[in-house]
Structures are given as C-alpha cells and as structure tokens.
Amino acid sequence: MERADEERDSEQEEIKKKEERKKRPPADSGFTMIEMMAVLMAIAFLTWLLAPKIQGFLGGSKIAATEESIQGLIDAAHSYAATNGSLYTGLGAHFSAGYSATTTPDIPTNYTSSGSPNPFGGTSTISETGPLSFVVTSTAIPPGSCNQIVNHFLSEGTPSCSGGTFTMTGQ
C-alpha cells in the first residue's frame, strides 16, 4: 500500500512539473532584434513603394471633383442665359447673391457670395465678361492639376492656367 501511495505521489509530482514547464515559456521565445528590423524594413519599403500611387489616386479625385464643380458653374451660366434671352448680362450679380432655392435655383447649392469651394482649398467663381460671354475662375490649384483641368475644358471655351488659378472664358 505504501508503495502504491509513493507511486501515486511520484506521478502527481511528474504531472505538476510538466504543468509548470508548460506555464513557463522557453528561454528562447520571442523575436530577435534582427527579425524585428527585417519586418520594419519591409513595412518601410512597401510604404515607399505605395505612397506615390495613393497620392496620385487622391490627387486624381480632387481634379475630378474640381472639374465637376467648374462644369456645374458652366451649366448654371448656360441655364441663366437660356432664361435671359441668350445673354449673360447680370450673371455676376445673380451669382454673387449666393445660392437660394427660390431666387437662384440654377447655381450649385454650395455656392456662396464668395464662390464655391474647391477640393484644393480655393474657390470657384463665375461672372459675365460681356452680354455674350462669361468667365469661370478657380483658385489654389496646383500647376500639374491645373493643366489637366485646362485640357478637360478645351472644348467648352478658352481655358488657361496661371499661378495656380484656372480661368475659362465661355460663350
């Protein structure tokens, strides 16, 4: 009987030792400094590789949004002329009042007396340059983006870009 008790005690001790070993991590667990540096360098390389593509994508969406805003102003100018005997006379005063659903339903809803904000942080405005023409101006556009916008509006009128300001004269 004593021998059976001793064997049981010895088995229980073995089980306890095994459980303790399982609880303690081995001395060589974890990552080495070299492994950590390799992972960080891989992340840095991927960031360097993808950053220009992400910036290009974001810049492209800003250009598209600015083109849409300018097109909205051009469409509003044509709408104004259509209801005023094909003349743009009074267009600037009409737009400088800002958007009002009752008095100026033809201009973009985000248009205020100082213009319509563009995604580059500037504003887009419209005014008449004579009874048969108008001008759209958009400010704070980076030169490369401004040139792309000029190319987009070549068929709409006479677009130009100077010092980060897009200008288009239309009829």
Summarize pLDDT for 68-101 with one digit per residue, the tens.
889 888 888 888 888 888 888 888 877 777 655 5
Q: Please state, for a pLDDT cut of 70, what percent of the chain lies above it.
A: 81
Rounded to the nearest 10°, the torsion over CA 10, 13, 19, 21 is -100
* In contact, 141 and 161? CB cutoff 8 Å: yes
115 neighbors 131 (Cβ within 8 angstroms): no
Identify which has the larger pLDDT, 59 or 76.
76
| Distance in angstroms (rounded) separating the CA atoms of residues 53 and 114 | 34
Q: Give the CA distances from residue 70 to residues 30, 85, 131, 137, 156, in Å, rounded to whole numbers and listed in that order.
A: 58, 23, 20, 8, 11
Helix (H) or strand (E) holding 170: strand 165-170
pLDDT tens digits for 121-170? 898 888 888 899 999 999 999 988 899 999 999 998 899 999 999 999 98
> Is the pLDDT assigned to residue 10 strictly greater than 70?
yes
